[in-house]
Structure 1
Amino acid sequence: MKRSKKIMFCSAGSVLLLVLVLFAAIYWSMRPTTGTPINKYATPRAALLIVDIQEDYTGPQAKKRYRDGDRIVTVSNALLAQAQANGAVVVFVKNVIDNPIMSALMGGINAPDSPGAEMDRRLIEIPAAVTFQKSRPDAFSTPELDAYLREKQVDQIFITGLDGAYCVSATARGALNRGYKVTLFQDGVATESSKNIEELAKSWRQAGAQVKTGSEI
């Protein structure tokens, strides 16, 4: 009997430790990254970042459908057309959950090489656009993104996508931490969090970003 209790106690302790480690990993991954401040360019450029507008979130077979998915696709397409006309840099960012434990907890959303991890097929195709993959909320956790933007001499970033409380917010703060000027399009951002877009927009402004609507392009 004593041996059984000891085994149960050890098992419970192991589960608790695993949960604590998992929550610590999630907390760490949510933090925006920091980096070297960008240079001042003689002829700076602007970039449009489309964050996580993927089939698993906004597509017809979405595993986790966002209620405002259609709206942000429409707004993003208007911004993509404007960016293409103005010669702005266009970057698509997609979230890929490659951690098997997290993937299981998320129901297989954004699994590596899955159709659901691809950008929403309704988004306008921009021939010169590039796509970067991330596994943390802040897109700048992928060093290649920052390197690409510096190579293109970008100093201003416009952002649409989801989720406004997580990946969009973390990416905006990661950009601000490096000295980029950041503008978020409020009607081009969706959230399923407990906060509404107006509350989130207030927090973006407090962090140093500008907030506009798609009609202001």
Structure 2
Amino acid sequence: MKILLVIDVQQRYLKNYKPDLVERVNNRISEAVEADIPVVYVRNTGRSGNDDNFDLAEGLLIESDCVFKKRLPSAFSNADFEPFLNKMNVDTINVVGVDGRCCVSRTVMDALDRGYGVHLLMDAIEAHNDKFYYTELKTMEQKGALAYMKLEKM
């Protein structure tokens, strides 16, 4: 089974990225819903774990109640995340969100290390520093992540 994983598309981070990021992420969310691909959200709560300043972005389509909190870069740092994937029989993770050079790349690398297929939906991933992101992207692709411009439905 495939899922769409939306990483850290949160209000407090939007100022660091292009203004249409939420719209592009929403396009991928809509495609996933149309293709019956479950949508899963991961959001950072900061080192303190305080939720108050870490809301999901205004206008972000929320299509499920599957929202995992994390304090560290990788979604796999949440102890409930991988058991959830196993329970859902997930084999492929489609990824959108921020930041491409940190939380996205750490999650992708951890997913690949655990044997998941990873599809990077490039038009809906942003990075604060493109130079570092392209280095990370190359590493992710060398490890087996596949880059796409749209959601692969098959």
Q: Give the aligned partner of residue 131 of structure 2.
A: 195
Are the aligned partners of 1:186 and 1:197 in contact in 2 as well (CA < 8 Å)? no
> Which residue of structure 2 lines up, in the alignment, with residue 53 of structure 1?
9
Q: Confirm or deny: 8 A CA contact 1:51 1:93 kept in the other structure.
A: yes
Which residue does the alignment assign to 1:122?
Answer: 59
Instruction: Give the structure-1-normalised TM-score.
Output: 0.65
Q: How many residues matched?
A: 153
Return the alpha-carbon distance in structure 2 between the equivalents of residues 216 and 87 of structure 1: 12
Aligned to 2:41: 92
Any stretches of 5+ residues in structure 2 without a counterpart? Answer: none
Rate the CA distance shift 1:51–1:215 in 2: closer, same or farther, 3 A: closer
Q: Identity percentage over the alignment?
A: 29
Q: Which sections of structure 1, spanning at least 5 residues, go unmatched?
A: 1-44, 59-64, 100-110
Aligned-residue offset at 1:214: 3.2
Specify which of 101, 108, 122 is matched with residue 172 of structure 1: 108
Q: Once the two structures are superposed, what CA deviation does each residue of 1:171-213 show, in whole Å capped at 9, x if it has no partner?
A: 0011111110001112211111261654443222112100111
SS of alignment partner, residue 84 of structure 1: helix
- The answer for the alignment partner of 2:92 in structure 1 is 156
Matches within 5 A, 1:1-217: 45-58=1-14, 65-68=15-18, 70-99=19-48, 112-114=50-52, 116-126=53-63, 128-193=64-129, 195=131, 197-214=133-150
Higher Rg of the two aligned structures: 1
| Residues 76-127 of structure 1 deviation map (CA, whole Å, 9 limit, x = unaligned) | 111111111121121110001143xxxxxxxxxxx6131x30111211121x
Measured at CA, do residues 141 and 196 of structure 1 come closer, stay the same or move farther in structure 2, by a change above 3 Å?
closer
Considering fraction of residues, name the structure with more helix.
1
Pair 96,189 (structure 1): closer, same or farther in 2 beyond 3 Å: same
What's the secondary structure of 1:56's corresponding residue? helix
SS in 2 for 1:165: coil
